[in-house]
A and B are shown apart, each in its own frame.
Chain A
Amino acid sequence: MSRPKLAVDIRGLMKRFGRSTAVDTVGLSIRPGSTLGLLGPNGAGKSTTLRMLMGMLRPTAGSINVLGRDLATEAAQIKQRVGYVPDANYAYRWMTVERVIRFCRPMYRHWNDDRCAELLDMFQLSANKKIGSLSKGMLAKLSLLLALSHEPDLLVLDEPLSGLDPIARDDFIEGVMRGICSGTQTILFSSHQLDEVSKLADDVAIMNHGRVLIHRPLDELLSSFKRVRAVLQDGRLPAVIPKGTIWQSVNRREWALTVQDVDDTLIDQLKSENSVDSIEVAELSLDELFRDFIRGDETPDDQRHEKAQCEAAEC
């Protein structure tokens, strides 16, 4: 089979639970060999999206294509080539580590015993220990071991680092890094740990309220959005919000905006349309950008300007 153009191609994906919409017409595409970090606050729909990708939930609408195959018709073949690390490991508590490995091994055509032994050694997992007695960190490592031992083409990690101590987190990331380095695996992971996302991800997608707010290469995302800090003239309010503003806040005379594609023209326009004394432009970290996207999304466009004026009026 020829290498597909996209490792993951999600189109118009929707999931409704009764009246509430958990995932709302999501579209995501991941290039083979790249790493996509899926970010979002709790309840953004990240886990639901990943669970649909793993065939654990049936979408209400939309299509999912994984490694060139349609998930709706070829789920079993897809699972052969996908490794999944859930946010919580629900493997059979009565099984030992060795038993769960023996249980999973015959299910995969490309199970690599050497790789499994190497990871077992690296994670210092005791083969005779029962799964029920493993700590959260050890369970996460076991999940990663099971996900990597069959040398998957796609590795899906659903908030694997949440609740792990820094040492377990480092071990886990090292395991993932080894997975990345030893092959041409595509990785899709959701996380709240933005520093880890910046280390691992090539591309970033931010989700909120079941929608994808932005999906870009990480470098491009960080370079295209800037924090603009303007000092308003005494007693004046922002008049015109520049195009491409995703979030803004007014605190006394300081007007802070997160704006896309900031250039000299935009700065001149900002100066001419608003009564500002000075303007400075600063780089944004992924953490700041993530917060701004979410806060901006919480405020509808028509209210954004109104809110800024009200905040300014209070001072």
Chain B
Amino acid sequence: MLMQLIRKDLRICRLPILVGVAMVIGAFVLMSTMDGLSGVWRGGSIETWSVMLKTAGSLSIITSIIALTMLAGTIFAAERADRSSEFLAYLPPSRAQVLLSKAIVLGASCVLALCVGGGSIALADWLSVDHSVNSSLQIRMRDVVPIAVVSIGVGWCASARFANTGPSVGLGFAAPIVLSAGVLLASYFFGIPNDESFRTTYAACSTATGLACLVGGSVYFIRRVEP
């Protein structure tokens, strides 16, 4: 039964998944054809490969966050938008099983995105002889992961609430911006210096908000009265 539900969810979320795959592939294609990195196809050095992989991996992680936010914002709301959730409501699967299938689809997509992006960066580090050579686009995972958590969490929670994918995806995208503005305002009023402590505060707020939204959205979906 769970396999049927997962297949169905993959089909419903086909668009954000395909967009994500296209953007990740696009990131690697784009980086490998850019000036200075295009030498990888003409017998470039290990360092060139390493920089290309680091840059493409970083870009793929950023694009993955966009696609995963779209996926989280779509995963519940799409079924409510076309009222197919009513069909599912009178079939035997429980709300918990329906939730599990959606969590598996989103979780697997996150892991896959992390494996491709993070794997590329890790491979680049392993290949690199001179570790001082860095990509201009290299990201810090500790900065990116909280943004991903809050975007996906808010998208997931909004999707569980709304009957339209537009607002839930939009809220997912807006969440890190709104939160950073909030933390900036708070740091201004509370006199938090705009240095590493700001990043730490923002990361903590984002992660906490994202996780709370993931849990809250799940509980809301289980407990909501209508399909």
Contact = CB atoms under 8 A, between A and B. Distances in A.
Contacts of B4: 102-103, 106-107
A58 B90 contact: no
Nearest to A58: B225
Interface string B34-67: 0000000000000000000000000000000000
Given A56-B227, A57-B226, A94-B11, A104 B91 contact: yes
A56 B4 CA distance: 21
Given A56-B86, A90-B85, 20 more contacts: A56-B90, A56-B226, A76-B92, A76-B93, A79-B90, A79-B91, A86-B86, A90-B83, A90-B84, A90-B86, A92-B8, A92-B82, A93-B82, A93-B84, A102-B4, A103-B4, A106-B3, A107-B4, A107-B92, A107-B93
Nearest to B2: A106
B90 A106 contact: no
A313 to B, nearest CB: 50
Nearest to A84: B90
A103 B8 CA distance: 8
A76 B94 contact: yes
Contacts of B225: 57-58
A231 B91 CA distance: 57
Contacts of A103: 4, 8
Interface residues of B, number: 21
A104 B90 CA distance: 11
A107 B92 CA distance: 6
Contact of B92 (A57, A80, A91, A93): A80
Interface size class of chain A, counting residues whose CB lies under 8 Å from the partner chain: 20 to 34
B91 A54 contact: no
A89 interface: yes
A145 to B, nearest CB: 14
Contacts of A90: 82-87
Interface of B: 1, 3-4, 8, 11-12, 82-87, 89-94, 225-227
B90 to A, nearest CB: 5
A92 B1 contact: no
A104 B82 CA distance: 19
Contacts of B85: 90
28 contacts: A54-B89, A55-B89, A55-B90, A56-B89, A56-B226, A76-B92, A76-B94, A79-B92, A80-B92, A84-B90, A86-B90, A90-B85, A90-B86, A91-B84, A91-B87, A92-B11, A92-B12, A92-B82, A92-B87, A102-B4, A103-B8, A104-B91, A106-B1, A106-B3, A106-B4, A107-B1, A107-B4, A107-B93
A75 interface: yes
A75 B94 contact: yes
A108 interface: yes
Interface in A94-113: 94, 102-104, 106-108
Contacts of B12: 92
B13 to A, nearest CB: 12
Contacts of B84: 90-93
Nearest to B96: A76
B92 A54 contact: no
Contacts of B93: 76, 107
Give the 3 A-B residue pairs with the shortest CB-CB distance, closest first. Answer: A90-B83, A79-B92, A84-B90
Contacts of A89: 87
Nearest to B3: A106
A226 B226 CA distance: 42
Contacts of A92: 8, 11-12, 82, 84, 87
Contacts of B91: 79, 104, 107
Nearest to B94: A76
Nearest to A85: B90
B86 to A, nearest CB: 5
A93 B8 CA distance: 12
A39 B225 CA distance: 25
A27 B125 CA distance: 71
Contacts of B92: 76, 79-80, 107-108
Greatest chain A CB density within 10 A among B8, B12, B83, B92 is at B92
Interface in A202-229: none
Contacts of A86: 86, 90
A226 to B, nearest CB: 41
Contacts of B82: 90, 92-93
Contacts of A102: 4
